[in-house]
């Protein structure tokens, strides 16, 4: 579903991704862990074209979005095609990013109506289904300011799902939440795992990652230092940096 090879990305003089190789199979759940500043968000943002890479190859569902030329410089396909490719991916951010002046329902139906040209009646039906899936059936007429952080994040998940993505990318979806609200969001994500959604999740929730992820990647300073099955990586990390990171998390 995702194939990324030799990804390099700098911001000016700051080299942030330094040769990341990474792939995700259909229905696989991949968790990315690592300390702040290691490049996790940048990697996700490169996958759905919120940032452009300097060098490397990325294919989504067997379609090349960007490939190196002979000089190892990344060359992107046409804009229209990039849009098509990225429309297969939904993304959920740490800070929800809901439209504050729109109700929950409007937040969910906006993009499908405009981008996918779906009929209002059709998308409203889907929105109701999704709200019920995330446990917020009764909140469709509320504004974001009337919701708790956990509720806002569940609306953000429903909004991403309304575009009917094949892949969901999550960037620390619970990091801005009080601990007592984290569980309801993780439970919603757990449901997506049960539905066999393909997911990439950047998270500091180690217990959740250990339980739901098939594969865990540990990133440090712009490289993937260690990757493996969740339980093996958490219980028996091979790399010294992974060991140090995990012991700092469980201190």
Q: Which is nearer to Mg ion, 41 or 103 (CB)?
A: 41
The residue within the footprint of ligand ADP, chosen from 4, 41, 91, 225 (CB under 6 A), is 41
To the nearest whole angstrom, how small is the minimum distance from the Cβ of residue 57 to ligand ADP?
20
Q: Closest separation between CB of residue 174 and ligand ADP, Å? A: 14
Q: Where are the alpha helices (DSSP H) in 162-249?
A: 179-194, 206-212, 230-235, 240-249
Pick from 7, 28, 40, 56 the residue near ligand ADP by CB under 6 A.
40
Residue 19's φ and ψ, nearest 5 degrees, are 90, 60
Measured distance CA(130)–CA(14) in Å, rounded: 41
Q: Which of 74, 45, 73, 32 is nearest to 65 (CA)?
A: 74
How far is it, in rounded angstroms, from Cα 247 to Cα 218? 13
Can you read off the two tokens belonging to residue 5? 């090879």
114: left (phi over 0), alpha (psi -120 to 50) or beta: alpha
Among 4, 20, 31, 42, binds ligand ADP (CB under 6 A): 42
Q: Give 35 or 68: the residue with its C-beta nearer to ligand ADP.
A: 35
Stretch that binds ligand ADP, among 11-19, 22-30, 131-139, 193-201 (CB under 6 A): 11-19
Query: Any contact of residue 16 with ligand ADP (CB under 6 A)?
Result: yes
The minimum distance between CB 20 and ligand ADP, in angstroms, equals: 11
Q: How far is the CB of 128 from ligand ADP (least distance, A)?
A: 34
């Amino acid at each position: 579903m995702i194939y990324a090879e030799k990804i390099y990305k700098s911001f000016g003089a700051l080299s942030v991704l330094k040769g990341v190789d990474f792939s995700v199979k259909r229905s696989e759940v991949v968790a990315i862990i690592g300390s702040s500043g290691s490049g996790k968000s940048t990697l996700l943002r490169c996958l759905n074209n919120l940032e452009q890479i300097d060098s490397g190859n990325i294919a989504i569902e067997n379609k090349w979005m960007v490939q190196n030329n002979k000089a190892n410089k990344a060359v992107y396909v046409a804009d229209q095609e990039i849009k098509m490719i990225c429309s297969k991916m939904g993304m959920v951010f740490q800070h929800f990013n809901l439209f504050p002046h729109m109700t929950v329902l409007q937040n969910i139906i906006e993009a499908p109506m405009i981008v996918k040209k779906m009929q209002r009646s059709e998308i409203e039906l889907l929105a109701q289904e999704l709200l019920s899936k995330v446990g917020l059936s009764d909140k469709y007429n509320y504004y974001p300011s009337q919701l708790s952080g956990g509720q806002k994040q569940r609306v953000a998940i429903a909004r991403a799902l309304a575009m009917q993505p094949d892949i969901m990318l999550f960037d620390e979806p619970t990091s801005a939440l009080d601990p007592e609200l984290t569980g309801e969001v993780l439970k919603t994500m757990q449901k997506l795992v049960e539905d066999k959604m393909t997911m990439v999740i950047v998270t500091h929730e180690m217990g959740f990652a250990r339980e739901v992820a098939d594969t865990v990647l540990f990133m440090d300073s712009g490289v993937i230092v260690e990757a493996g099955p969740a339980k093996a990586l958490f219980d028996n990390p091979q790399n010294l940096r992974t060991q140090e990171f995990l012991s700092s998390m469980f201190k």
